[in-house]
């Protein structure tokens, strides 16, 4: 059975475990990204800030971390939600955990009177593009980047 733990229900050790996984996502798309303990600590602090002002949700199967989703509350003319991170363990993908995390996150964003929810997706991440499109997201801008 999948158990969801939100925000203050998550321990410091669990947040650090999430940071280690979260920081390892970029190498899928960037060859030159090195993960350090310092980066993991920084990421953990960033999550604590999200817990204070946003929504953090993690999924566990028999105590094992199998997914997480973090949303920041933002304000720029209107209040909106920004997805800071989203991940599901490879052994548990395509079982609906990602969809459940998204649904719970959107419920929270609605309860906070957010006008919309937004996320950044790498062009080389077709699964993420597909889950977002199926969830009703539309592409509204494209970020362009050049290595220096
Ligand atoms: C993207 C991700 C979170 C999806 O989580 P998930 O639990 O597998 O998603 P679900 O099982 O709820 O699937 C929901 C929908 O997502 C899409 N999807 C999920 N896995 C997919 C795949 N391998 N290929 C294509 N579409 C996929 C489908 O539209 C799917 O709906 P369907 O099963 O009815 O066809 C997961 O694949 C993941 O963690 N990827 C690696 C981490 C990552 O890229 N994070 C983003 C960094 S910005």
The per-residue pLDDT for range 88-140, each reduced to its tens digit, is: 999 999 999 999 999 999 999 999 999 999 999 988 889 999 999 999 999 99
Cβ of residue 130 lying under 6 Å from some atom of ligand 1:
yes
Cβ of 21 closer than 6 Å to ligand 1, yes or no, is: no
**Atom number, ligand 1, closest to the C-alpha of residue 99:** 12
With b meaning 16 or more CB within 10 Å and e meaning fewer, what string describes 68-102?
bbbbbbeeeeeebbbbbbbbbbeebeeeebbebbb
Q: How far apart are CA 19 and CA 72, in angstroms?
A: 16
Contact call for residues 56 and 67 (beta carbons, < 8 A) = no
Reported confidence tier of residue 30, pLDDT bands at 50, 70, 90:
low
Q: Count other C-beta atoms under 10 Å from residue 47's C-beta.
A: 25
Lowest mean pLDDT among 9-13, 27-31, 128-132, 134-138: 27-31
Please indicate whether residue 93, judged by its CB atom, sits closer than 6 Å to ligand 1: yes
Alpha-carbon distance of 85 to 68, in angstroms, equals 7
Q: Where are the beta strands (DSSP E) in 42-121?
A: 55-61, 64-76, 78-88, 117-118
List, in order of start, the domains of the chain with CATH numbers: 2-134 (3.40.630.30)
DSSP letter for 102, please.
Answer: H
- When pLDDT is cut at 50, 70 and 90, the band that residue 27 belongs to is low
**Given this model, what pLDDT does residue 26 score?**
66
Give the pLDDT of residue 124: 85
Atom of ligand 1 nearest to the CA of 95: 11
Please write the tens of the pLDDT for every residue from 48-73: 999 999 999 999 999 999 999 999 99
Mutate to test the pocket of ligand 1, among 43, 60, 93, 128 (most ligand atoms within 8 A of CB): 93
Cβ of 98 closer than 6 Å to ligand 1, yes or no, is yes
Between CA 23 and CA 111 the distance in angstroms is: 29
pLDDT (0 to 100) of residue 123: 86
Encode pLDDT of 75-99 as tens digits: 999 999 999 999 999 999 999 999 9
């Amino acid at each position: 059975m999948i158990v969801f733990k939100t925000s203050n229900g998550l321990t410091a050790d669990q947040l650090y475990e999430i940071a280690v996984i979260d920081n390892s996502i970029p190498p899928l798309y960037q060859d030159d990204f090195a993960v350090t303990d310092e980066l993991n600590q920084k990421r953990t602090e960033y999550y604590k800030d999200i817990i204070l002002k946003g929504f953090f949700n993690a999924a566990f199967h028999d105590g094992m971390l199998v997914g997480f989703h973090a949303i920041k509350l933002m304000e720029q003319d209107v209040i909106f939600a920004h997805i800071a991170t989203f991940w599901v363990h490879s052994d548990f993908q395509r079982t609906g955990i990602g969809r459940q995390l998204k649904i719970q996150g959107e419920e929270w964003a609605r309860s906070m009177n957010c006008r919309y929810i937004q996320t950044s997706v790498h062009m080389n991440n077709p699964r993420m593009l597909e889950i977002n499109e199926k969830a009703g997201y539309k592409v509204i801008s494209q970020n362009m980047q050049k290595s220096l």
